[in-house]
Structure 1
Amino acid sequence: MEPPRRARVTRSEAGGSRWEVATRELPAGLRPHVRELLGYGEASVLPRVQRQFPLPQVVVIIEFGPPIRVHDGAGVPSRYAGGFVAGLSDAWSDTGHDGAQAGMQLNLTPIGARLVFGVALSELTGHIVHLDDLLPPTHRGLAARLAACADWDDRFDMVESFIAARLAAARVAVDTVAWACQRIEASAGAVDIGRLAGELGYSSKHLVALFRDRVGVPPKLLARLVRFDRLIHRLKTGPASTWAALAAEFGFADQAHLTREVRGFTGVTPTGVRALLGELVIA
């Protein structure tokens, strides 16, 4: 019999702000499709804005606190009461709140998102969509049901059941693209896409079309996002290193190439990224 999985809740306080983050080990059946699932709550003295970097995942925010603001490239904010889904993108965005937020964040692999939401992921690429607009009637109002739960474990149970039900109901074939995504991940974004298409017996054009449906972006952009994701993880958790050394470690042509990629994905310099990462509380 599988031992019970209990949520781990971490609380912290600094500068007049309080945070709570809840995590729990995922069931084995969900791990191929879910990168992360966490609960969060924050109360701060002042409004807060945080930069979000593009990563190789579809982010689902299920809110049962005040809706956060999502700013577009011109800084114009939008709100999505109850939550939203952010498709893959090659651009950063800013999110903010007026002093309080609470909810759950579900980071899906692109294939996982294709199965859970049942729409071509090209429809989500570069867009923010209200969560209820992507759910069948039986699952709408998920945020309100989560808000009524007694504790974090009940919330994790509910979200995990929702994911499992949607995966079981999925009818789209994803094995070929899932294999290609795994190759890209395993190579940290360094796989030759032309060779990958050849191994599958597809033309590059056909592989791109499959990726646009199942992933939302072409394989070359996914590979760039995977490489950038590895760099960000290294900056968060690894030892200090020079930018030139990091460029060589992660397969950039040189330091200038790394700088161009980082600026394009984040809107700031590599040094600016390090500073932003130091401010993060919720991943």
Structure 2
Amino acid sequence: MHRIRVVRHASERGGWEMALATPPPALAPLIRDYCGFREAMPQPMRRQELPGVQVVLILEFGPLLKHLDDAGRVTRHRSGFVAGLDERWSTTEHNGESHGLQVNLTPLGARRLFGLPMHELAHRVTGLEDLWGGEARRLVESLAEARDWAARFALADAFLIQRAERGPAVDAGVKWAVERIQRTGGQVDIATLASELGHSHKHLIHQFHEQVGLPPRRLARLLRFDRAVERIKSGGPVRWAELALELGYFDQAHLNRDFRQFTGGPPSALLRRALPDAGGFESGA
């Protein structure tokens, strides 16, 4: 049984409903959280999609989202898409109406659910039907017909549990290393990590390439950035210098460097573009 929190927004810019939920215990190692969404806007809406430590699965049962990468390439994918781990931001756009379900997967969860070397999904957006074929289409049709968010989450749970049962096992050493990076907030020496596992640095990087999609040092960097973004989303004033030290940055300049790489501007600019009521970040373009 999901604990669902529904957040609604209505203003001159339009309205949206976000249904936020955590996964059941059987999926907790694979899924960070769910977000069901429904939007009705008076004009097209663009959002900046930031890099993070989750692989994003979008199931669409409304008009298809446009996805624009940082080179300006535009794609649409019937049924939805998967955005692998990346170190670049992208943009999504809809023409005023959007309806679907976002599933934020852990990298190792994505490995179980898609059964691919994760470097094949990293740094790109892949159509869901290219990965799951007709299963993706049938799942989306069922979600569209479901009576409410609780029913949709239950359908998604059942489908994903079945997929996970058919998926490849995750290497225990890689799982331990990922959990160690998460527990330390990315503040762990990668050479020490490899040594504790009894691996060479090169072998650990190869294992992460296959099962996570990014090498451990870059995953740790994304984790620090992701936690900074979560602090912005939580609302309230942010003291950037204090936040930088809390998250393990050497100083605020290093925090600013990551924000410029991952968002295109300083942290204060992202804060100004934060939408209320779990609405994400408006695109600066």
Q: Which TM class, normalised by the smaller chain length?
A: over 0.9
Cα distance in 2 between the residues matched to 1:237 and 1:8: 15
1:173 alignment partner, one of 165, 170, 173: 170
Choose from 20, 37, 61 the match for 1:40.
Answer: 37
- Superposed CA offset, 1:153-208 (max 9, x none): 22111100111111111233332111110000000011110000000000010000
Which residue of 240, 245, 248 maps to 1:243?
240
1:11 and 2:4 correspond: no
State the partner residue of 1:97. 94
The answer as to 2:129 corresponding to 1:132 is: yes
1:20 aligned to which of 13, 17, 22: 17
**Counterpart in 2 of 1:272?**
269
Q: Which of 200, 203, 207 is residue 200 of structure 2 equivalent to?
A: 203
Q: Deviation of residue 279 (structure 1)?
A: 5.5
- In the alignment, the residues of structure 2 paired with residue 101 and residue 181 of structure 1 have an alpha-carbon distance, to the nearest angstrom, of 34
Identify the residue that residue 215 of structure 1 maps to in structure 2: 212
In structure 2, what is the equivalent of residue 116 of structure 1? 113
Taking the aligned partners of 2:277 and 2:182, their CA distance within structure 1 comes to 25
- Point out 4+ residue stretches in structure 1 off by more than 6 angstroms: none
Q: Does 1:73 align with 2:53?
A: no
* Deviation of 1:238 (Å): 6.3
Identity of aligned residues (%): 41
Please, which moves more after superposition, 46-55 or 238-247? 238-247
Unaligned stretches of 5+ in structure 1?
Answer: none
Matching residue within 52, 55, 61 for 2:52: 55
Matches within 5 A, 1:175-194: 175-194=172-191
Deviation larger for 77-86 or 102-111: 77-86
2:251 equivalent among 243, 248, 254: 254
Corresponding letter in the other structure for 1:226? L
Verify: 1:227 aligned to 2:224, yes or no.
Answer: yes
2:148 is matched with which residue: 139, 147, 151?
151
| DSSP-derived class of the 1:60 partner | strand
Unaligned runs of 5+ in 2: 281-285
TM-score for both structures, normalised by structure 2? 0.93
Provide TM-score, normalisation by structure 1: 0.93
Counterpart of 1:106 in structure 2 is 103
Q: State the shift of 1:11 in Å.
A: 2.5
> Within 2, Cα distance between the matches of 1:150 and 1:75?
37
- Other structure's SS at 1:190 match: coil
